[in-house]
Amino acid sequence: MTIEPGRIRRLNEAGVNERGRYVLYLLQQANRSRFNPALELAVEEANELGLPVLAVFGLLDGSNGFPEANARHYAFLLEGLADAAAGLAKRGIGFALRKASPAEIAIDLAKDAALLVLDRGYLAIQKRWYDEILAGVDIRVVQVEGDVVVPVETASDKHEFAARTLRPKIRRQLDDFLHPLPARTVQHRADALSVKGALDLSDPAKVLAGMTLDRSVAPVRRFRGGETQARRRLKAYLAGPFRSYGADRGKPEAEAASHMSPYLHFGQISPVEIALAVRAAATGSAEDKDAYIEELVVRRELAMNHVHYTPHYDTFAGAVPDWARTALAERSGDERPHLYSDEELTEGRTHDHYWNVAMAEMRETGFMHNHLRMYWGKKILEWSATPEEGFQRTLRINNRYFLDGRDPNSFTNVAWVYGLHDRPWARRPIFGTVRYQSENSIRKIDAKAYEATVRALCDAEKS
């Protein structure tokens, strides 16, 4: 199966370096050895040129670390990179990890490369890396989209108002981008390639121990990183819990969630691979499958659309629509019956028992069900002195504890709490016409069963 042309973008007019020793692939967003269109294009190009492929990753560390990342995030990342490195080695593809920014390692190793292949992310920091790379290399640079099903600009050329405006555009093109991606045969192995300054990734925990980073948020046992783990989880999910996804997806206690979001966040599994597996699953009705595709593709790619077309997606003024900011400002003087500090919130010391339970799941295990994430965020808005303060602390806590934080979904979900991709609702204190969520949200689930599940998960983290 060929790689869809709509995924491939040539970023400059430079030619191929005829003296290049390898085709260089900056593996930065799609951290996997299979079902990775950027990697497969690199293999195709290398085979045609009679060269091996060298995949590289720039590991941000110390003062240059990835914004808001901590030991929890880096442990999962390094486990995934170790798994990817093993998969690449089996295919005969070289891999090197170096403490450097992605732009620095790409520019340095591009000196001996015939051409450079990039995968793609939509965050501002990633866009800055790509600009630095284009300014710093003099060889052909090709970028391949592998983090969404329908490439963002292909789906829409503007910021979409809501899921209902993006959905028909995605649905019309969905089948054009849902194809299997067999691994290409590597004709020229990279076994003889060596990279100066590369880290030994055979022991991810040792690499983590040698980094300078925030260790106050510990790695979790609930999730282990890597494409092998992602595919194992997906297979088990589709064989069992998925059969009731449509009916139970809004019930945290039903365990109908697939828990794919951490793996998608770190590029350890392709959304196309998941979508194809869901469509082919023996379990689940047509309605179950359609509901899952809605979340995986339409909702997730709405977030990509928002981040791509919103320059200041991480700020209240930049991300929240005008009508919602006006509505919240009009009620800024309303009395807040409860005001909590960041410390009280993160330690789960509020008056709302089940909010505290959800916070414990997030704090101790790095995950929270989507239904509760919405309630969790709305309450922080309600318990903050101003909406601006609420926005920043919601984002700050979200990005600190969630394994899948710090990505387009996180920035978009937090902005949704404040009115993004929504409409005005009935007017009420503090919220104005921004959607409110009451404790009735908790009454819709089996809260006691959910609490028992969280208690067991937290106990497992401490054992």
In this prediction, residue 184 carries a pLDDT of: 98
pLDDT at residue 17 in the model: 98
Check residue 374 and give its pLDDT: 94
Mean pLDDT of 437-463: 92
Q: What is the mean pLDDT of residues 360-369?
A: 97
Please tell me the predicted confidence (pLDDT) of residue 463: 82
Beta bridge partners, 55, equal 25, 95
Report the distance separating Cα 357 and Cα 359, nearest Å: 5
Ranges of H-type helices in 69-111:
71-91, 102-109
Rounded to two decimals, what is the model's pTM? 0.97
Distances (CA, A) of 247 to 114, 254, 291: 52, 10, 10
Half-sphere exposure of 217 (CA within 13 A, CB side): 26
Question: Which tens digits make up the pLDDT trace of 225-255?
Answer: 999 999 999 999 999 999 999 888 888 887 8
pLDDT at position 207 is 97
Residue 1 has pLDDT above 80, yes or no: no
Domains of the chain: 1-147 (3.40.50.620), 148-182+226-309 (1.25.40.80), 316-462 (1.10.579.10)
pLDDT 10s digits, 402-424: 999 999 999 999 999 999 999 99
The 10s digit of each residue's pLDDT in 107-163 is 999 999 999 999 999 999 999 999 999 999 999 999 999 999 999 999 999 999 999
pLDDT band at 24 (very low <50, low <70, confident <90, very high): very high
Rounded Cα–Cα distance for residues 59 and 66 (Å):
9
Looking at residue 461, what is its pLDDT? 97
Backbone torsion region of residue 366, taken as left when φ is above 0, otherwise alpha when ψ lies between -120 and 50, otherwise beta: left
pLDDT bin (cut points 50, 70, 90) of residue 65 is confident
Query: What is the pLDDT at residue 247?
Result: 87
Query: How far is it, in rounded angstroms, from Cα 383 to Cα 201?
Result: 44
Q: What is the pLDDT of residue 402?
A: 98
Instruction: Tell whether the model's pLDDT for residue 63 goes beyond 90.
Output: no
- Average pLDDT rounded to a whole number, residues 441-460: 93
What does DSSP assign to residue 432?
B
Q: Where are the alpha helices (DSSP H) in 137-211?
A: 152-155, 163-173, 204-209
Q: Is the pLDDT of residue 300 over 80?
A: yes
* Whether the predicted pLDDT of 439 surpasses 90: no
Nearest CA-CA partner of 306 in 210, 169, 420, 460 = 420
pLDDT above 90 coverage of the chain, percent: 94
* 64 pLDDT more than 90: no
Written as six digits, the tokens of 9 are 């973008």
Q: Give the mean pLDDT of the chain.
A: 96
Whether the per-residue pLDDT at 262 is higher than 80: the answer is yes
